[in-house]
Structure 1
């Protein structure tokens, strides 16, 4: 059992050294690019909803005036 532990430890060191060298030789252009900024979805959706609501009230008011003009 002791030799199995020593072999796993040696294998782990070998793999760690291999990946440390490989990651040090990678060029900056092939590294992962930084994540893009997230879009501001909820704030813009709220503003759009308020704009649609204001346009709806304006059209309702204009319709009210048109009906009042025709009936009155």
Structure 2
């Protein structure tokens, strides 16, 4: 009684087909396959691109103060 027999699986399959219909179930599987393909393509694209370089070096608070002091001296 602990395991399901073939009759149980057939009844479950019939109920699923009645609820979702043949068209909806195949559309659902097609959408899942497209999602998996898009995920794999995205993962492959990430491996091919080199990491982006930062546009400017990161400035510390002390450096910003010296730049502001230089601006006041120059201007």
Common topology (TM > 0.5) = no
- Tell me which of the two structures has the higher relative contact order, counting C-alpha pairs closer than 8 angstroms and 6 or more residues apart: 2
Which has the larger helix fraction? 1
**Which of structures 1 and 2 has the bigger CA Rg?**
1
What is the TM-score normalised by the length of structure 2?
Answer: 0.39
